[in-house]
Amino acid sequence: MQLFVKCNMMHLTLKVETSMEATLMTVQTSVAAVQSTPLADQFSCKDEALINDWHVVGFSKDVVPGKLVPVRLLGRDLVLWRDAAGQVHLWEDLCIHRGARLSKGWIEKDTVVCPYHGWRYDGTAKCVLIPSAPGETPPAKARAFPHKAVESCGFVWASLGDPQHDVPFFPEWNDAEFRKFHAGPYFYQANGFRSVENFIDATHFPFVHAGLNGVQDSPDRIETYEVYEDPGLGLRTSEIVVFQPYGDHRQVPVKAGYTYRCFRPLTAYFSKRVEVADPNSKHKSKPTDRFCTFMTAQPVDEVSCIIRLGVAINFAPELTEEDILRRQDIVFEQDRIIVETQRPERIPIDLRMELHHRTDRLGQAYRRWLGSLGIHYGTI
């Protein structure tokens, strides 16, 4: 008889041999290499579509040398830091020695120091010092568990697997005609997909953003629009036009034409064509006036997320960053209050579970798309 026992941290195989003749039981043990993922990940996301994607885990400006930033992504506890050369690193928030949280430690001599026994890890994730054995070279297995982290458009992006796509790009980021700002983070006790679906939904404006993005007593009729799925590029719509009494930060009524895109399941975008509504003030806007928002949702776990935005504007140079951010903060707080109430918390991708209307065409396409990507985490 042979009995095999496996544990997650390492493969420990116990081979127990018995026979009629045997008078002795022999027990052989063999220890295979330590797995590349630590024990702590056992309750986190397993969906390849999300593991192998890029997710925003912070603003670049918030990751400064000498500071450890704890991050939670897809149910995993991670630590983010920047070395003296400016490179960002994202590791499991776990020391291989006894499982202490590295984020509770500190940075010294460009190494991360574990707070428990002081083991030090350098930018290659290798342990370079075990203080209780200062003259000895640490064993090769003494390593942190690194993940991929890159910076783009002022965000830190992470992948827990092998990314199958380029990092999503904010289309206006390199366009000198646009001023760019970041807004957030906004902490939602709500599912990331529900939060993205809220962002790409033009029919909630008159109610959730009454007086800003719509008029409660006179909601816009939403004409039928098109949704396109471009292989590998996600979803996009034709233009959806609405009236907004305080449609941009100038506090003037505008006719707003939204074109939405979903680059990835948790990265969406709109370009808003802005036209001053008052016929006597038409000269105040140009046909090219655009306000664009690049929205990222960090899936902390299945039922909470962190929203971070990039916004770009090519008109109204008199508006200050404070003017821009004040309005973003109001709008995303209004959204948070509603999205946190939605039940079930995890988004239903079986379209029979909620009622979809002609005017929810993008939301329906979004849910179908999530299903086609094989996403189960955060969905029902």
Contact residues toward ligand FES (CB under 6 A) are: 95, 97-98, 100, 114, 116-117, 119
Angle (nearest 5°) at CA 293 between 235 and 171:
65
Beta-bridge partners for 56: 157
Considering CB distances under 5 to 8 angstroms, the limit depending on partner class, which of ligand FES, Fe ion, none binds residue 365? none
Considering CB distances under 5 to 8 angstroms, the limit depending on partner class, which of Fe ion, ligand FES, none binds residue 325? none
Binding site for Fe ion (CB under 5 A): 335
Q: Choose among 291, 297, 260: nearest CA to 275.
A: 291
Considering CB distances under 5 to 8 angstroms, the limit depending on partner class, which of Fe ion, ligand FES, none binds residue 97? ligand FES
Angle (nearest 5°) at CA 277 between 274 and 278:
140
Please identify, using beta-carbon distances, which residue of 56 and 94 lies nearer to ligand FES: 94
Residue number of the CB closest to Fe ion reads 335
Minimum distance of ligand FES from residue 113's CB (angstroms)? 9
Minimum distance of Fe ion from residue 323's CB (angstroms)? 19
Considering CB distances under 5 to 8 angstroms, the limit depending on partner class, which of Fe ion, ligand FES, none binds residue 114? ligand FES
Minimum distance of Fe ion from residue 208's CB (angstroms)? 5
> 308: which 2 tokens?
């971070």
SS (H, E, C) 42-110: CCCCCCHHHHCCCEEEEEHHHCCCCCCEEEEECCEEEEEEECCCCCEEEEECCCCCCCCCHHHCEEECC
Distances (CA, A) of 166 to 1, 163, 371: 50, 7, 21
Please identify, using beta-carbon distances, which residue of 100 and 222 lies nearer to ligand FES: 100
Minimum distance of ligand FES from residue 98's CB (angstroms)? 4
Please identify, using beta-carbon distances, which residue of 110 and 201 lies nearer to ligand FES: 110
Minimum distance of ligand FES from residue 126's CB (angstroms)? 14
Please identify, using beta-carbon distances, which residue of 98 and 286 lies nearer to ligand FES: 98
Considering CB distances under 5 to 8 angstroms, the limit depending on partner class, which of Fe ion, ligand FES, none binds residue 358? none
Considering CB distances under 5 to 8 angstroms, the limit depending on partner class, which of ligand FES, Fe ion, none binds residue 360? none
Please identify, using beta-carbon distances, which residue of 172 and 335 lies nearer to Fe ion: 335
Please identify, using beta-carbon distances, which residue of 133 and 355 lies nearer to ligand FES: 133
> 75: which 2 tokens?
């149910």
Considering CB distances under 5 to 8 angstroms, the limit depending on partner class, which of Fe ion, ligand FES, none binds residue 119? ligand FES
> What whole-number distance in Å separates Cα of residue 136 and Cα of residue 224?
70
Parallel, antiparallel or unpaired: strands 26-34 and 290-301: unpaired
Q: Is 74 left (phi over 0), alpha (psi -120 to 50) or beta?
A: left
> 325: which 2 tokens?
């951010």
3-class DSSP assignment, residue 325: helix
> What whole-number distance in Å separates Cα of residue 138 and Cα of residue 34?
16
Please identify, using beta-carbon distances, which residue of 117 and 148 lies nearer to ligand FES: 117
Considering CB distances under 5 to 8 angstroms, the limit depending on partner class, which of ligand FES, Fe ion, none binds residue 335? Fe ion
What burial letters (b/e) apply to 113-124, b meaning 16+ CB within 10 Å? bbeeeebbbbbe
Kindly state the helix (H) or strand (E) to which residue 329 belongs, with its residue range.
helix 321-339
> What whole-number distance in Å separates Cα of residue 122 and Cα of residue 144?
9
Minimum distance of ligand FES from residue 117's CB (angstroms)? 3
Q: Provide the residue type at 62 as one letter.
A: D
Minimum distance of Fe ion from residue 90's CB (angstroms)? 30
Angle between helix axes 192-199 and 361-372 (nearest 10 degrees) is 140
Please identify, using beta-carbon distances, which residue of 335 and 360 lies nearer to Fe ion: 335
Spatial contact of 284 and 252, defined as CB atoms under 8 Å apart:
yes
Minimum distance of Fe ion from residue 204's CB (angstroms)? 6
Considering CB distances under 5 to 8 angstroms, the limit depending on partner class, which of ligand FES, Fe ion, none binds residue 241? none
Please identify, using beta-carbon distances, which residue of 285 and 328 lies nearer to Fe ion: 328
Minimum distance of Fe ion from residue 44's CB (angstroms)? 29
